[in-house]
Amino acid sequence: MSEDNYTYHDDNFSLDKTEGYTLLIQVENDSFSYAISSNGHLIAWSENHPLDELSDPQELLDLLSARYHQVIIGLPAQNFTLVPAELATSERLPNIARFLDVKADTTVLAQALDNENVIVYKTNGAVVSAAEEFGMRNTVYTSKGWLTAIAQNNPGNNNLYINIENNKAELTHFALGKLRFYNIFDFNSDDELTYFAVLAANELNLDPKYTTIYLSGDIDEDDSKLSRLAEFFRKAEVNTLQVLELPKEIVPHRVLSIAALSLCASSEVA
Domains of the chain, by residue range, sit at 154-240
The closest of 31, 40, 36 to 1, measured between CA atoms, is 31
For the structural domain made of 154-240, what CATH number should be given? 3.30.420.260
Q: What is the pTM of this model?
A: 0.93
pLDDT in tens, 160-195: 999 999 889 999 999 999 999 999 999 999 999 999
Q: Which residues of the chain have pLDDT under 50?
A: 1-2, 267-270
Please give the pLDDT value at position 241: 97
Please give the pLDDT value at position 269: 36
